[in-house]
Amino acid sequence: MSVSRFLPFLLVAVLAGGAFAQAPAPTPLPDKPEVAPPPTPEAPVPVGAKAWILMDHVSGQVLAGEKIDEPLNPASITKVMTSYVVAAEVAAGRASLDDMVKISENAWRQGGAGTDGSYSALEVNTEVKLDDVLHGLVIQSGNDAAIALAEHLAGTEAAFVDMMNAYASKLGMTGSNFENAHGLTAEGHLMTARDIATLSRALINHFPEHYALYKIKEFTYNGIQQYNRNGLLWKDDSVDGLKTGHTSAAGYCLAASAKRGDQRLVSVVLGIDTNSRNEGFRLREQGNLALLNWGFRHFETHSVYGAGDQVAEHPIWRGAADVVSLGVTEALLVTVPRGRYGDLKPSMDVPRQLTAPVAKGQAIGTLRLSLDGKVVAERPLVALAEVAEGGFFKRMSDDFWLWWESE
């Protein structure tokens, strides 16, 4: 019998309500339990490093580190400062990428092929386009390129070093001092891990087009092809800088930066001491990559307040207005362990009584954000608008109430 012949009987049975039993209603699933974020594991300590740091690029928060403020020999990581100065001078119009840079005998002798350091194959007494010399500095880590650029921008390397130290001071690099433009060992030539991370953030933020040089894997000049010494460029596509360094005094060093999605981190590993070149390369790369992976896995950055956003209102006495709006002058960003943003505790330190006049931008107090009792971000609270003195009767009235409250 065909299926079509059964249809009338099926319809009758269904309408009658007794031919077929209804399927039982499904049992509702229990609500998904809320699971608290697991504790953040300890950061992976780079093997053999004298100092190291992991910093969030956007917020500038230190996520982990050891001896981050100990001044150490930075070797060729120095060239990040050299390239920052060059980029700043080009941006200011005091130099051009099209400038022709004279390769002096000093640059050739002190930083060329006759030395033990890295070089860019620049021929003595020739003129080379500044952009090519800059490529040699960043990609090939050329000591000759560093000296040639210093002499071109400042006349002498010593004068350029003064510029390096001045720029470092403006960036808040309080633990660093430069004695040359290339990073070969010199007494008093020192940088801290924190300062290197701070400089790296500044370079990426201030001169992104210049920073793009740091991800180029190889550069050929004068018939000589040389490769970027940052091996992480080949091992992780999210890594796009920064700089390696090695001397017998400094050990093996590496500053690295990577971007995954909207998040960027900066890591620095300094002072790995080993007689094996291959082991030195391996340890500095493994140390940085482990830190970057740990940071991306366990931390997230949030924007809490934008520049000029109102954080609170504070009563004001003797003023044309009764309250003044308080806020932050710069965006407040905070980096916290993943899933812990809702656990942040805000607090404000403001005067109990505030009297007019108050100028726009005047510092009134301090805003703090804490997690588990530890302050993770702190910013000045400022007046977002001017509050002038009130009229005579307003001042008299407020003076009376201020007296009354003081009794």
What confidence tens digit (pLDDT) does each residue in 306-329 have?
898 888 888 887 778 888 889 999
- Distance CA(194)–CA(257), nearest Å, equals 14
Q: Which of 234, 225, 81, 93 is nearest to 166 (CA)?
A: 81
Residue 398 is encoded by which pair of tokens?
């407020």
Q: Which of 51, 73, 81 is nearest to 186 (CA)?
A: 73
- Distance CA(384)–CA(51), nearest Å, equals 41
Model pLDDT, residue 120: 73
Model pLDDT, residue 22: 52
- Distance CA(97)–CA(131), nearest Å, equals 5
Q: At what angle do helices 143-154 and 78-91 cross, to 10 degrees?
A: 40
- Distance CA(113)–CA(122), nearest Å, equals 9
First and final C-alpha spacing in the chain? 103
pLDDT above 90: residue 139? yes
| Strand arrangement, sheet containing 251-260 | 62-66, 51-56, 263-272, 251-260, 239-247
- Distance CA(54)–CA(298), nearest Å, equals 12
> Looking at residue 19, what DSSP letter applies?
S
Q: Of the residues 59, 79, 120, 176, which is catalytic?
A: 79
Mean pLDDT of the chain: 87
Q: Of the residues 59, 104, 120, 141, which is catalytic?
A: 141
- Helix, strand or coil for residue 388? coil
Mean pLDDT of the region 81-91 = 98
- Is 118 part of the annotated catalytic residue set? no
- Is 141 part of the annotated catalytic residue set? yes
- Distance CA(246)–CA(75), nearest Å, equals 6
Model pLDDT, residue 354: 83
Instruction: Name the pTM for this structure.
Output: 0.84
pLDDT above 60: residue 7? no
CB atoms within 10 A of CB 278: 8
Q: Write down the number of H helices and E strands in the chain.
A: 11, 16
> Could you identify the residue written with the tokens 């930075």?
74
pLDDT above 60: residue 4? no
- Is 360 part of the annotated catalytic residue set? no
